[in-house]
Chains A and B, each alone.
Chain A
Amino acid sequence: MKKTKIKTKLSKRQKRNTIIYILLVILGSFIFTGLFAYAIGILEGERITFWLLFSFFGMFFIVSMLFFPVLVIAVVLGLQKGRARRINKDVEFVPVENITYYRDTVKCLSPAMFSILVDLDLYGQKDVVATLLSMHKKKAIAFADNGDIQIAPTISSTLDSSEVELKRLIERRSLNDKFSLKAWKNNRFIEAEKNGYIFKNNDSTYKKSMIRLAVIWIISLIVAGGIWTHIMTSISMTTDTFVESMVWYLIMDIFIFVPTYILARHAAYRKRGDVVWQRTALGNEMSEKIAGLQHFIKDFSNLADASKEQLALWDEYLMYAVILEENKKIIRDICKANNLNLQKFKYLGDLY
């Protein structure tokens, strides 16, 4: 059956970012070419339309002549593309029943398991806050009037392992500690694997392909360096040889851009090295229900405006809304009241 995607805010943002980068490069080159032409006075006395045309065509040449910017553009676009592919791949699942709306709750899933099945990842803020809401519902913690988290004196036996571990972090006041949260996150993946929702797909070919791509990249850079030396030493920049030198610049850029882009894309796509998590049949089934729930919450509720006091009214649905980023108000309120500076777990791509 055809794969379907759970739409997350992060997955929706990917295409837009790439387009913005490309537009910025085009606009920057356009302005640079115009200013360059103005500075050297080659268009003095020409009409504005001619100037614009010159800038439009000139920008391609300007970009192609610059060795270093091409490298940077290739790295940025490659990382961006790789990251987008990874994110889009992670939200993809194989539907079983083609559910459009799922109106029931998935009580068998803890907030952390729910979140992993959304996009095969966990994020500090929303997922911790959703787990806190679940603990509050089970009366393991309480929110004071000023929003402070208070631990209940009696331990609730209904808490699942993600909640027990988080309770321990609250007791130790280490919710802001990124290493503790990282451990919490890793344990959730182990838990999801044990529950049969995901499995580890060890791809041994990853390192080999990275080495192969790196070798091709180095060779390409050496070739590009050779072409550059050839342009500098053998072609004099006169009007007659202008087109010829531009052709050589373009060939040099292809040697720089293509391998750099592919290498960066490959590195960003494999965010966790040679370990790739994938959904099992059960994971796909649950992800389909989650996607149906997301459509239902989005189309039939006003949960975006709900506050944490409405947890009694909405139960699990409010937690789902937090995890699916349909409600950001609660995340803001809880984090602010408890001075929580929850680290966002990062993709490699988030570093740029």
Chain B
Amino acid sequence: MGLYIVLGCITLILIVLTIYVIKTYNALVVGRNKVNTQWAQIHVQLMRKSELIPNLLEAVQAYVSHEKDIFKHVADARQSLQSALTPSQSIKANEQLTSVLSRLMALAEEYPELKSNANYLDLQANLKESEDKIAYARQFYNDTVLLYSNKLHQFPSNIISKMFHFPAMEYYDITNA
């Protein structure tokens, strides 16, 4: 009788443990997928931003054709953004592109005709919209990473995450880029 009780208890514990492992594993998979989905959202916006660059350059070049250096920098930064393979590379490339674009905008400020060009204004508005969307997507991405990281590092789910090699995800941190 005693043996049956012990066996019953062990079976019960094993069942509870199995259910816990399955639940935690699934929660971690969902968390990882959410982070990836959110990164995809940022990536879509980054690509949208990079697709605006050729038209912007074309519009600006019509008025500021002699500033070849800055056009080259913009084109290079765009190229790096499009060829980035990992989130950290994309973040870095985007920061470079944003920095060089702000220089281009500052330059454009000196040309009143360009400033009043409808095409240029439209592109500028689109660029601003893209930047806003990237900013929101970044906030949501960081929140999702936080929720996932909490699961990853909290006890006892950290045992499951180590057991199944769930990777740590990095925050989209502007200062580190």
Q: Which one of A30-38, A146-154, A297-305, A337-345 contacts B?
A: A297-305
Q: Any chain B CB within 8 A of the CB of A144?
A: no
Instruction: Report chain A residues within 8 Å CB of B144.
Output: 300-301
How near does chain A come to B176, taking the closest CB pair, in angstroms? 18
How near does chain A come to B175, taking the closest CB pair, in angstroms? 15
How near does chain B come to A117, taking the closest CB pair, in angstroms? 21
Q: Any chain B CB within 8 A of the CB of A85?
A: no
Closest to B136 in A: A317
Q: Any chain A CB within 8 A of the CB of B146?
A: yes
Chain A positions 63 through 106: 1 when the CB is less than 8 Å from some CB of chain B, otherwise 0? 00000000000000000000000000000000000000001000
- Which one, B41, B139, B147, contacts A314 given CB within 8 A? B139
Q: Which of A279-300 contact B (CB under 8 A)?
A: 296, 299-300
How many Å lie between the Cα of A103 and that of B147 in the bound state?
A: 18
Closest to B41 in A: A103
Instruction: Report chain B residues within 8 Å CB of A302.
Output: 143, 146-147
Instruction: Report chain B residues within 8 Å CB of A299.
Output: 34
Q: Which of B64-86 contact A (CB under 8 A)?
A: none
Q: Any chain A CB within 8 A of the CB of B25?
A: no
- Indicate if the CB atoms of B136 and A300 lie closer than 8 Å: no
Given known pairs A313-B139, A317-B136, the reply for A300 and B34 (CB within 8 Å) is yes
How many Å lie between the Cα of A194 and that of B41 in the bound state?
A: 36
- Which one, A300, A313, A314, A317, contacts B38 given CB within 8 A? A300
How many Å lie between the Cα of A201 and that of B34 in the bound state?
A: 42
Closest to B44 in A: A103
How many Å lie between the Cα of A302 and that of B38 in the bound state?
A: 14
Number of interface residues of A (CB under 8 A): 11
Of B34, B137, B139, B146, most buried by chain A (CB within 10 Å of CB) is B139
Instruction: Report chain B residues within 8 Å CB of A296.
Output: 140
Closest to B150 in A: A302
Closest to A310 in B: B139
Instruction: Report chain B residues within 8 Å CB of A313.
Output: 139
How near does chain B come to A247, taking the closest CB pair, in angstroms? 46
- Indicate if the CB atoms of B41 and A301 lie closer than 8 Å: no
How near does chain A come to B82, taking the closest CB pair, in angstroms? 23
How near does chain A come to B40, taking the closest CB pair, in angstroms? 11
How near does chain A come to B32, taking the closest CB pair, in angstroms? 13
How near does chain B come to A215, taking the closest CB pair, in angstroms? 55
Instruction: Report chain B residues within 8 Å CB of A300.
Output: 34, 37-38, 140, 143-144
Instruction: Report chain B residues within 8 Å CB of A301.
Output: 139-140, 143-144
How many Å lie between the Cα of A315 and that of B147 in the bound state?
A: 21
Q: Which of B101-148 contact A (CB under 8 A)?
A: 136-137, 139-140, 143-144, 146-147
How many Å lie between the Cα of A299 and that of B34 in the bound state?
A: 8
Q: Which of B142-166 contact A (CB under 8 A)?
A: 143-144, 146-147
Closest to A316 in B: B136
Instruction: Report chain A residues within 8 Å CB of B137.
Output: 103
How many Å lie between the Cα of A296 and that of B143 in the bound state?
A: 12
How many Å lie between the Cα of A73 and that of B35 in the bound state?
A: 50
How many Å lie between the Cα of A164 and that of B4 in the bound state?
A: 74
How many Å lie between the Cα of A201 and that of B176 in the bound state?
A: 57
How near does chain A come to B30, taking the closest CB pair, in angstroms? 9
Instruction: Report chain B residues within 8 Å CB of A315.
Output: 136
How many Å lie between the Cα of A183 and that of B146 in the bound state?
A: 43
How many Å lie between the Cα of A302 and that of B139 in the bound state?
A: 10
Instruction: Report chain A residues within 8 Å CB of B37.
Output: 300
Instruction: Report chain A residues within 8 Å CB of B147.
Output: 302
Instruction: Report chain A residues within 8 Å CB of B139.
Output: 301, 313-314
How near does chain A come to B5, taking the closest CB pair, in angstroms? 23
Instruction: Report chain A residues within 8 Å CB of B136.
Output: 315, 317
Q: Which of A251-302 contact B (CB under 8 A)?
A: 296, 299-302
If A103-B137, A300-B38, A315-B136 are given as contacts, then 12 extra A-B residue pairs at C-beta distance below 8 Å, sorted by A number, are A103-B140, A299-B34, A300-B34, A300-B143, A301-B140, A301-B143, A302-B143, A302-B147, A303-B143, A313-B139, A314-B139, A317-B136
Interfacial residues, chain B to chain A (CB-CB below 8 A): 34, 37-38, 41, 136-137, 139-140, 143-144, 146-147
6 tightest Cβ-Cβ pairs between the two chains A and B: A302-B143, A301-B143, A300-B140, A300-B144, A301-B140, A300-B38
Q: List 6 A-B contacts (CB under 8 A).
A: A300-B38, A300-B140, A300-B144, A302-B146, A313-B139, A317-B136
